[in-house]
């Protein structure tokens, strides 16, 4: 017969005093809900960008949770993030008629830009025509 392995019994994990204090001042609240109501609640909270804890705190302090409506339903930072990304990563050019910057975002503009860069010899970040040489390290 083989050797029997004995499992080491680990002592219970020690709880830090700060965690004990936090748990005492922030007790857990739980409830059982029908799955449809839970789903509706989750959708409503996600559309407003708030957590269940914030919603319950607001209700307990006499506030209310409103259904989102129209454009105001998006998170405040969502559109700011999209605009920041467009500024950082969007490719633009000056309009030949008015001089304003135009962001390349339609499939036709992207195709035209791709064709122009290919014709100019661009590849891997630098122009690749006969007069331009890639820097050596």
124 or 118, which is more confident?
Answer: 118
Please give the pLDDT value at position 17.
94
Instruction: Give Cα 132 distance to the centre of its chain.
Output: 40
Could you give phi then psi for residue 93, rounded to 5 degrees? Answer: -145, 160
CA nearest 102: which of 117, 112, 91?
A: 91
If pLDDT is split at 50, 70 and 90, which confidence band does 18 have? Answer: very high
Please give the pLDDT value at position 21.
95
Please give the pLDDT value at position 32.
93
Dist. CA 65–CA 54, nearest whole Å: 10
If pLDDT is split at 50, 70 and 90, which confidence band does 7 have? Answer: confident
If pLDDT is split at 50, 70 and 90, which confidence band does 16 have? Answer: very high
Given a cut of 80, whether residue 131 has pLDDT beyond it is no
SS3 string of the chain?
CCCCCCCCCCCCCCCCHHHHHHHHHCCCCCCCCCHHHHHHHHHHHHHHCCCHHHHHHHHHCCCCCCCCCHHHHCCHHHHHHHHHHHHHHCCEEECCCCCCEEECCCHHHHHHHHHHHHHCCEECCEECCCCCCCCCC
Please give the pLDDT value at position 3.
63
CA nearest 48: which of 21, 24, 67?
A: 67
């Amino acid at each position: 017969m083989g050797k029997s392995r004995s499992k080491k019994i680990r002592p219970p994990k020690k709880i830090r005093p700060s965690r004990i204090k936090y748990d005492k001042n922030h007790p857990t609240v739980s409830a059982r809900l029908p799955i449809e109501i839970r789903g509706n609640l989750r959708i409503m909270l996600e559309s407003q960008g708030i957590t269940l804890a914030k919603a319950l705190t607001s209700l307990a302090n006499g506030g209310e949770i409103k259904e989102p409506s129209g454009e105001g339903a998006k998170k405040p930072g969502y559109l700011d993030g999209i605009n920041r990304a467009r500024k950082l990563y969007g490719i633009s050019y000056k309009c030949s008629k008015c001089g304003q910057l135009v962001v390349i975002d339609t499939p036709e503009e992207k195709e035209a830009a791709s064709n122009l860069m290919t014709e100019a010899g661009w590849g891997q970040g630098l122009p690749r025509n006969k007069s331009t040489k890639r820097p050596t390290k």
